[in-house]
Amino acid sequence: MAKRRVVKVPAAESLLVELLTEELPPKSLLQLSEAFAREVLNGLIRYQLKLGESEVRVLATPRRLAVLVPEVLAKAEDRATEISGPPVGAAPEAVAGFAKKHGLSVAELDERYTDKGRVFLARFTIKGTSLVAVLAGIVSDAAKKLPVRKAMRWGSGETLFARPVHGLVMMHGKRVVPGTALGATAGNRTSGHRFMGADSIRLNRADEYEAALRKSSVVADVAVRREEIDRQLQAEAGRRSASLGEYRDLLDEVTALVEFPAVYACRFDASFLEVPPECLILTMRQHQKYFPLFSGGKLLPEFLVVSNMRVSDPRAIVKGNERVVRPRLEDARFFLNQDRKVRLETRVPQLANVVYHSKLGSQRQRVERIQLLAGKIARDIGAVPELAERAAFLSKADLLTGMVGEFPELQGIMGGHYAKYDHEPDDVVAAIRDQYRTKLDEADPGNLVSASLYLADRIEAQVGLFGIGERPTGEKDPFGLRRAALGVISAFELVGSARKVAGSTVPDVRDFLTFGASLFPAGLLSSEVIDQVHDFILERYWNNLATVFRMDKKVVESVISQRPNLMEVKARVDAVQAFQRLPEAESLAGANKRIRNILRKSDATQGDLSAALLTESAEKTLYDSMQKVEPQVMSSMQRKDFSGALRTLAAMRGAVDKFFDDVLVNAEDTRVRANRHALLRRLDLLMNQVADISKLAVEK
């Protein structure tokens, strides 16, 4: 009888997992693919089936999620292990139960000496898990953990996923790993391009997946596909001496819409350029996924389209897209012409019929509050109050226009255009246009009318919504209050720069918060709302500086904890950073922390400092040093020269160090002790004019 041939399976091979689906949501394709790959990898690691740290390939197209994992074992290695059990001398039943639990007889147990005495020890081998046994479960679990906003069912099954699943590939090297996941049975066949590829592609091994798909007109790697689209877009734009403007977000989305990209150039009727360019750009980018072209910053009557088909004669594709875009542009022109028949100011009374918030009233009531607050802010920052109030009065009127009704993203932008058509002052037009910007420093820094409306809009929103308990929680921020806080910060920075040139100061944000709160009906808002909003804004500032700009957290905390005027925060942070580099900084910070600890425990919280009670040479020297330094520090603070104030303080290091070396602060004489505490209170106040430098102290 012939001997049976034994085929030796390689210990480690590449593993391919692919879910073949209907079209996946393009805006979340990259997130879904990365999450799927991560969860599959984690599952393999959990069962000890993945070797090494080789890079995992994340692959995805509109119709598939795939991951290629190198160095995956067919079966995990067996592992010898041992577990301590009951003490020697325990009840026979307990010992027998321990042995049985681990598949051993009592005679097979060993013994070990531990800190608690001699105990029984079970030594046994855990059999390694096979890939066949667990892969389908890993894939199913991975699919359940994906960030799917809305799952679907299909056919007669109960399986839920982002889109119906029509195929499953699970291959380890050359072998199919049997199993079922998401209602599909694993195999080694996938599909090519819907129109230009094969309906069924047989894969011979996992590693040939990308090459096999490429032959069937599918570019499986998202990054490669994105790069190819970008290359073609740049080439087509270059041939027309044009540019693409801000197109990166659209590039990401289009990459998730095609499997085999081809870029073609199209045109639209130049007469549509009479419509504000923002309308045309939004229509092309957001609704049609087209790439408008620009020359010298001006929109051209041309656009690029990314097709999922690469053909030798693209005329049909070009004509089809030109035919599709025309009615969309016609709609934009129609809305513009209809809206211009009515002046913006005549729409304002109708805002009384638009609910802003059930507890905060209508948009008309909100406009009235913003109008009063904008006027107050304008007077305080040096803008023209009448212009700020006019801009606030018109600021929400475009919500009732046909254009904004069709394209909500254009609110504010269209209000600015319509205000210009109505011959409103330029500063009013700019303020209406700027009000929805993410940061005010993107706008014209010279327009303080814009700053007045921008601040009024965000302060009114924060005070009102915080006041009725609608503050952000966790990751939820439905009213965009975190973004509003960052907007307030950017506006104060911009206004601070403008007023620095003008040589005057701006009130603290609390003044505007207090005035804003007074505009709501009595009893509507919580009594803590001003403190809550102020703390929230400072918290966002801290987070922005410490995590986004990666500034030293101690430095940021030392400034923010003092609750300074918002427009001084960055200047103070810069000054503290410079101070921190001085050789005196560490010693003074440590001394200030020591002062805080002493005063915290002091029972002499009141009382004036008496020079007559200063008896020790070191305390007299410190007092004289403070007398000399105080006027200089206060003069620097008045000039907002924070670096100068801290440099002046640095000169006190010797006197401060000698005081703590030579003087017993907590003297037995209660009058002397109280006087020394008064000296330290005055020193603490002087040292912390710019920031709480005790927070810079090095932990020991």
- 340: number of Cβ within 10 Å: 15
Indicate which CATH number applies to the domain containing 633.
Answer: 1.10.730.10
Which domain-ending residue is among 196, 215, 234?
215
- 419 and 287 in a common domain: no
Query: Rounded to whole angstroms, how far apart are CA atoms 208 and 143?
Result: 24
| Overall pTM > 0.85 | no
Average confidence (pLDDT) over 544-569:
92
d(CA 374, CA 519): 12
Express each pLDDT in 77-105 by its tens digit: 877 777 888 888 788 888 888 888 878 88
Q: Check whether residue 450 and residue 589 sit in a common domain.
A: no
Quick one: 414 and 323 in the same domain?
no
User: Are 201 and 140 part of one and the same domain?
Assistant: yes
Residues 639/642/646/647 CA torsion (nearest 10 deg)? -70
Residue range 216-222: mean pLDDT, rounded: 95
Q: Which single residue is written with the structure tokens 């058509």?
A: 421
**Does some domain include residue 556?**
no
Residue 140 lies in a domain: yes
Q: What pLDDT score does 140 carry?
A: 93
Closest CA to 141 of 62, 46, 77: 46
Under the banding of pLDDT at 50, 70 and 90, the label for residue 152 is confident
Please tell me the distance from the alpha carbon of residue 20 to that of residue 203, in angstroms, as a whole number: 14
Residue 374 and residue 378: Cα distance in Å, rounded?
Answer: 6
For 2-50, the pLDDT digits (tens) are 444 444 444 689 999 999 999 999 989 999 999 999 999 999 988 889 8
End residue of a domain, out of 215, 241, 258 = 215
pLDDT at 114: 80
Of the listed ranges 108-117, 454-463, 472-481, the least confidently predicted one is 108-117
**Please, how many CA atoms are within 13 Å of residue 209, restricted to the half-sphere of its CB?**
30
CA gap 453, 368 in Å, rounded: 12
How does DSSP assign 101-123, residue by residue? HTT--GGG-EEEEETTEEEEEEE
- Domain match, 329 and 348 both: no
Reported as a single tens digit per residue, the pLDDT across 260-316 is: 999 999 999 999 999 999 999 999 998 899 999 999 999 999 999 999 999 999 999
- Describe the crossing of helices 131-144 and 29-46 by its angle, rounded to 10 degrees: 140
> Is position 564 within any domain?
no
Q: Final residue of a domain: which of 322, 339, 356? A: 339
Question: Which tokens in the block code for residue 122?
Answer: 């079970």
At 443 the pLDDT is: 52
In a domain, 559, yes or no: no
Three-state SS string over 639-676 comes to CCCHHHHHHHHHCCHHHHHHHHHHCCCCCCCHHHHHHH
Question: Torsion over CA of 563, 565, 569 and 571, rounded to 10 degrees?
Answer: -140
Query: Domain count of the chain?
Result: 5
What is the rounded CA–CA span in Å between residue 398 and residue 335? 12
Residue 387 lies in a domain: yes
Task: Give yes or no: residues 169 and 305 share one domain.
Answer: no
> Do 229 and 283 fall into the same domain?
yes
Out of 13-22, 267-276, 438-447, 481-490, pick the least confident.
438-447
Q: Is residue 632 part of a domain?
A: yes
Q: How confident is the model at residue 343 (pLDDT cuts 50, 70, 90)?
A: very high
What value does the mean pLDDT take over residues 432-447? 77
For residue 398, pLDDT over 90 is answered with yes
pLDDT in tens, 420-433: 999 999 999 999 99
Give the pLDDT of residue 594: 92
Least Cα distance to 416 among 438, 437, 445 occurs for 437
d(CA 594, CA 676): 14
DSSP assignment letter at 276: -
Paired with 299 in beta bridges are 294
pLDDT tens digits for 496-530? 776 654 445 778 999 999 999 999 999 999 889 99
Burial class (CB in 10 A: 0-12, 13-18, 19+), 117: exposed
pLDDT band at 466 (very low <50, low <70, confident <90, very high): very high
CATH number of domain containing 449: 1.10.3210
What pLDDT band is residue 442 in, cutting at 50, 70 and 90? Answer: low
pLDDT at 623 over 50: yes
- Taking all residues of the chain, what is their mean pLDDT, rounded to a whole number? 91
Counting residues of the chain whose pLDDT is more than 90, the rounded percentage is: 72
Closest by Cα among 221, 296, 315, 219 to 260: 219
Query: Which residue would you say has higher pLDDT here, 641 or 112?
Result: 641
333 and 359 fall within a common domain: no
* Domain span holding position 271: 222-339
Mean pLDDT computed over 354-370 = 97
Query: Do residues 475 and 540 share a domain?
Result: yes
How much is the pLDDT for 12?
87
- pLDDT of 205: 95
CA distance 165 to 183: 8
Distance in angstroms (rounded) separating the CA atoms of residues 288 and 276: 18
Average pLDDT on 55-65 reads: 94
Residue 3 lies in a domain: no
122 plus 140 within the same structural domain: no
pLDDT classification of 648: cutoffs 50, 70, 90? very high
Give the model's pLDDT for residue 2: 45
Of 416, 411, 414, give the one whose Cα is nearest residue 431: 416
Neighbours of 45 (CB within 10 A): 12
Residues 480 and 583 in one domain: no
Q: Is 362 in the same domain as 266?
A: no
> Does residue 531 belong to any structural domain of this protein?
yes
